[in-house]
Amino acid sequence: MERPLRVAVVGAGPAGIYAAEALAGQDDVPVTVDLLDRLPTPFGLVRHGIAPDHTKMRALADTLRHTLDHPGVRFVGDVEVGRDLSVADLRAHCDAVVFTHGASGARRLGIEGEDLPGSLAATDVVAWYTGHPDADRARVEAALARARDVVLVGVGNVALDVARVLARCPAELEQTDMPQHVLDVLAAAPVERITLLGRRGPAQATFTTQELRELGHLSAAVALTDPDGLDEESEVRAVARNLAALREFAEHVPEAGKASVRLRFFARPVRLCGDERVTGVVVERTAVDPADRLSGTRETEVLPADLVVAAIGYQGHDLPGLAVEGGTVPNEGGRVLRDGAVSPGEYVAGWIKRGPTGVVGTNKHDARETVAALLADSPTLPRVEGADLVDTLRARGRRPVLLENWRAIDDAEHALGATRGRARTTIHDRDALRAHAHGAQR
Ligand SMILES: Cc1cc2nc3c(=O)[nH]c(=O)nc-3n(C[C@H](O)[C@H](O)[C@H](O)COP(=O)(O)OP(=O)(O)OC[C@H]3O[C@@H](n4cnc5c(N)ncnc54)[C@H](O)[C@@H]3O)c2cc1C
């Protein structure tokens, strides 16, 4: 009898897990799935993106983990495609490959001063506060140690996440899974004023109302905004709700002893000031004409800033052997296109397929579309002769993190959390993750 179709899924974030679930959960085509990730841990941005104080959202990991237990799915962590395995290796070992490696590179502001110490991308800060092993601790912690005035560029949910985490008092973060060093640095950060800059008006901001309202309920900070653009009416319910929440913020006044989080619209940064490090942001007032075109008014001011965080979006990058165009892999309903033609046996799902938008659940429909294409193609996909992927990795001296190893990390994180009365604490250090993982391999 022909062996099951061997599929490699590259990236164990939501898209990869939903793709694995759709492949393993059907009976028409027998399939085995190797679910690879460059990290020793699964869940992608559910672990290293969703804000730690959003504990209910982060609990999505508890749903995603069921797929890892499926007998047809093998988690293969700590294996980076492009470094430990090439795309050609994958093609030689598997009958089909689904690329779901996300799009978590930062978009840049492209203005003078952006590379000064004290200027960070939201990706840096988010990676740090969620305990990503690749986070640049020294850079982020040096910036936070003197961050009295913080300017956040962007008015999407990620900007709000960063603002909220910085504005929260230690007690509000105590029960999260943030690493202890993160909690300690945040508790010591002297943050007094956080300003968010949106280049368009409040009606164009991309945050969701729930996230916006949360800013109004922080125990150690007051949410403020200016009345500019708030008299606008909108037929779009989500926009109308945002405007209503902002009108409430416009009535707030600063409170002694509390930090402030101010949303400013029609404002864009044109330059970061400072010699050794960031000291301020030159902000230009903008105008939006009836055709929705944005222009600068040349009216500028300097906002003091010890820390500037650009939260202006994410971007996909090339994987060696798989190029992106405009931040996504060219595809047709999930079938990878190379030089404009479908490349048999190669598929793509999630952010790297459609761009960095949507909520976790959006990736489920997206992955299902891709898997439907793969299963439809399966009768025509040639079965490869290659050895087992994990055997090849071991023969190359790699030590992949398999399910039992990941479970050992999971147990260690629960145990670490319990030492301080928390449900879990993220282990951020790659060597420590590996030690826990392989300590379990008896
Ligand atoms: C800061 C932030 C906060 C968010 N908050 C929310 C929220 O509150 N609610 C919500 O619904 N959505 C939220 N999202 C969106 C949500 O996280 C995404 O929709 C989702 O994670 C995208 O899934 P993905 O699988 O395409 O990518 P990712 O989650 O990025 O997963 C990609 C995976 O691929 C791995 N990988 C990358 N390169 C390689 C390689 N070369 N080899 C092997 N593996 C590789 C990565 O390690 C990662 O695990 C947030 C996103 C961000 C950035």
- Closest-lying ligand 1 atom to the alpha carbon of residue 103: 30
Q: What is the mean pLDDT of residues 94-98?
A: 98
CATH classification of the domain holding 211: 3.50.50.60
Domain that holds residue 221: 106-313
Quick check: 370 pLDDT over 90?
Answer: yes
Are both 131 and 266 inside the same structural domain?
Answer: yes
Closest residue by Cα to atom 35, ligand 1, is: 11
Are both 184 and 70 inside the same structural domain?
Answer: no
Q: How far is CA 179 from CA 115, 123, 251, in A?
A: 27, 17, 36
Closest residue by Cα to atom 5, ligand 1, is: 50
- Per the domain annotation, does 100 fall within a domain? yes
pLDDT digits (tens, 9 = 90+) for 251-281: 999 999 999 999 999 999 999 999 999 999 9
pLDDT (0 to 100) of residue 1: 62
Give dist(CA 348, CA 282) in Å, integer.
Answer: 41
- Per the domain annotation, does 216 fall within a domain? yes
pLDDT (0 to 100) of residue 440: 47
Check if 97 has its Cβ closer than 6 Å to any atom of ligand 1: no
In the reported structure, the alpha carbon of residue 341 is separated from the centroid of ligand 1 by a whole-number distance in angstroms of: 27
Are both 159 and 183 inside the same structural domain?
Answer: yes
Nearest to 53 by CA among 139, 168, 157, 148: 168
Between residues 58 and 104, which one has the greater pLDDT? 58
In the reported structure, the alpha carbon of residue 115 is separated from the centroid of ligand 1 by a whole-number distance in angstroms of: 25
In the reported structure, the alpha carbon of residue 296 is separated from the centroid of ligand 1 by a whole-number distance in angstroms of: 34
**Across-strand partners of 331?**
336
| Proportion of the chain above pLDDT 90, given as a percent | 95
Closest residue by Cα to atom 48, ligand 1, is: 44
Average pLDDT across the chain, whole number: 96
pLDDT (0 to 100) of residue 442: 38
Are both 340 and 221 inside the same structural domain?
Answer: no
Probe residue for ligand 1, chosen from 89, 101, 353, 364 as the CB with the greatest number of ligand atoms within 8 Å: 101
Q: β-strands 5-10, 267-273: how paired?
A: unpaired
In the reported structure, the alpha carbon of residue 16 is separated from the centroid of ligand 1 by a whole-number distance in angstroms of: 10
E strand residue ranges, 265-362? 267-273, 280-288, 294-304, 307-310, 314-315, 331-332, 335-338, 341-348
Are both 194 and 47 inside the same structural domain?
Answer: no
In the reported structure, the alpha carbon of residue 48 is separated from the centroid of ligand 1 by a whole-number distance in angstroms of: 8
- Closest-lying ligand 1 atom to the alpha carbon of residue 11: 34
Are both 302 and 219 inside the same structural domain?
Answer: yes
Closest residue by Cα to atom 9, ligand 1, is: 359
Are both 366 and 277 inside the same structural domain?
Answer: no
Check if 12 has its Cβ closer than 6 Å to any atom of ligand 1: yes
